[in-house]
Structure 1
Amino acid sequence: MGGVIIFLVIFLVLGSSILAISEDDFPGWMNEINYKTSESNKSMVIDPTRIIQLSWKPRAFLYKGFLSDEECEHLKNLARGKLEKSMVADNESGKGVLSEIRTSSGTFIDKHHDKIVRCIEERIATFTFLPEENGEALQVLKYQHGEKYEPHFDFFQDKYNAQLGGHRIATVLMYLSNVRKGGETVFPNAPDPQTKDDSWSECAKKGLAVKPVKGDALLFFSLSPDVTPDTMSLHGSCPVIEGEKWSATKWIHVDSFDKPRKAVGCKDENANCAEWAAMGECQKNPSYMVGTDAYPGSCRGSCRVC
């Protein structure tokens, strides 16, 4: 009985104060929290209602409207005039080679190139729950009529490329343009629950597929939760049939891709550095080849920067 009386006294004394508290004092207590934010931290905001789980094998998720129209155009403008024929990594040596397997053109954009690029990179880290330092520089790609990338894995099948940051664990593929027909991303090894009409290309009908829609971002994991290669992550870019396709790729590793390394005696860290340098990779991919004073690249000797 005494406890009840004490409670009533406390309520009578404090009750008016409690009732006077507004929802601004305890944001969220009436479910009024939303995702509005200032421009300064807009890059960190992720809206889970826009994320669609496409598959568990491989783990694949589609974020609708990940990039704004302005961000898409900015990345395309940064790449124009710098596009080079895309290469693939040789399975034995790890070096980049030209191949009919991949017929697009592309270029790399240095990390933190400008404010917009930095915001996109921060948003990717928030979306994936993977450290920003584990990611490579953005690669912007352009596919014209008939151009494609045959099915391949993003995890490495050579020992050289895995030296820096380990295997690629995840890929974020951002679509920078709409494509009238073709250009889909297809996973030929993955179970396909989709019903596809004539708006899909024949290539896309060979597995789980995603249509390129400007601003959307596809996240998929190349490694299973136990960090073993996921063969279901085999994927390709279907040939463009009508229009052209622009995309931007962020490859993310299991460890830091930016980890400081000492360039003792200015030695190369990869046996293929001299050949890569001769092919112009010092200029095309300076983040990996040259790096900076704080984060030396792997081929500073062959690039003759020290």
Structure 2
Amino acid sequence: MGFVVGRPSMKMVFGLLTLVTLCIILGALVQLAFIRRLEDITGFSPWANDKEAITLRVGYVKPEIISWSPRIIVLHNFLSMEECDYLRALAKPRLQVSTVVDAKTGKGIKSDVRTSSGMFLNSKEKKYPMIQEIEKRISVYSQIPIENGELIQVLRYEKNQFYKPHHDYFSDTFNLKRGGQRVATMLMYLTDNVEGGETFFPMAGSGECSCGGRMVKGMCVKPNKGDAVLFWSMGLDGQSDPNSIHGGCEVLAGEKWSATKWMRQHSTS
């Protein structure tokens, strides 16, 4: 009789242990969700007192690899909302019609290939504390030294404006004299509520995407305020990657603001 009575008791014990274990796991998940919710609502973070972590936005930046060839990573929440607004405020008074590089002379010329307006931050503005934090973040996530970067360019695309597919690497020798070839690009989005204006990579992926309201072959990244797209113009073999061709799709409504950082093989100083 003792043996028969003991078996239900063991089952009950195992059942209770399983229930307790499940409750502990569930409780931990609920706590993690609660803590993450607190971070989102209040800005509280376990790295709140770590200056380096704050600069790099540890816990906020979420990398998403969307293509290996060409190499493209979307960095969600790369910039804070304040940083986006700050870059726009710096740029707005000095916007001019954008130009493209002339392959023969290496100088900027106006072209119907690119219909935006923009400006470059100057060397003085590069030393502003908030700009220095952005520069360091770009360097760490791209693993390219700060001194290899060009000055940040801020662009505004209004309705019907676009940038036809192009390469960021140079086809002239003039621009290679200072810093060598462009290795990678960090493209940062500064506004929301834009219809169209996607960044289009025609040689990435095997599907289709919406580019300015048209379905095209390739991969498109929607401009979301604070997100950034990091892509490489140079392959692992050290050669310029023709698959890195990309463009800015036509803006259908709203204004698309972005900031671009090009990075070279060597120091640009």
Q: State the one-letter code of the partner of 2:147.
A: E
Match of 2:47 among 29, 36, 40: 36
Deviations 1:221-276 (A, max 9, x none): 00001110111100000010011100000000011112xxxxxxxxxxxxxxxxxx
Q: State the one-letter code of the partner of 2:197.
A: G
Q: Return closer, same or farther for 1:168/1:35 CA change in 2, 3 Å cut-off.
A: farther
Q: Which has the higher contact order (CA 8 A, sep 6+)?
A: 2
Number of residue-to-residue matches in the alignment: 222
Q: TM-score, normalised by structure 2?
A: 0.78
Q: State the one-letter code of the partner of 1:244.
A: E
Unmatched runs of 5 consecutive residues or more in structure 2: 1-44
Q: Percent of counterpart pairs with the same letter?
A: 41
Q: Which residue of 2 aligns with 1:66?
A: 78
Deviations 1:51-71 (A, max 9, x none): 000101110000100001000
Q: Which residue of 2 aligns with 1:251?
A: 262
2:265 and 2:59 map into 1 onto residues whose CA distance is 25
Q: Secondary structure at the match of 1:81?
A: helix
Q: Return closer, same or farther for 1:178/1:151 CA change in 2, 3 Å cut-off.
A: same
Q: Which residue of 2 aligns with 1:52?
A: 64
Q: Report runs of 4+ in structure 1 exceeding 4 Å deviation.
A: 45-49
Match of 2:189 among 160, 164, 175: 175
1:129 and 1:92 map into 2 onto residues whose CA distance is 31
Map of 1:1-306 to 2, 5 A cutoff?
36-38=47-49, 40-41=51-52, 42-47=54-59, 50-111=62-123, 112-193=126-207, 196=209, 201-203=212-214, 205-258=216-269
Q: Secondary structure at the match of 1:52?
A: strand
1:189 and 1:52 map into 2 onto residues whose CA distance is 18
Q: Return closer, same or farther for 1:46/1:223 CA change in 2, 3 Å cut-off.
A: farther
Unmatched runs of 5 consecutive residues or more in structure 1: 1-33, 259-306
Q: Secondary structure at the match of 1:120?
A: helix
Q: TM-score, normalised by structure 1?
A: 0.69
How far residue 180 of structure 1 moved from its aligned partner, in angstroms, is 3.0
Q: State the one-letter code of the partner of 2:76.
A: K
Asked if structure 1 preserves the Cα contact closer than 8 Å seen for 2:157 and 2:255, the reply is: yes
RMSD: 1.9
1:47 and 1:153 map into 2 onto residues whose CA distance is 32
Q: Which residue of 2 aligns with 1:8?
A: none
1:48 and 1:115 map into 2 onto residues whose CA distance is 20
Asked if structure 2 preserves the Cα contact closer than 8 Å seen for 1:46 and 1:127, the reply is: no
More helix by share: 2
Q: State the one-letter code of the partner of 1:235.
A: H
Asked if structure 1 preserves the Cα contact closer than 8 Å seen for 2:57 and 2:78, the reply is: no
Q: Secondary structure at the match of 2:223?
A: coil
More strand by share: 2
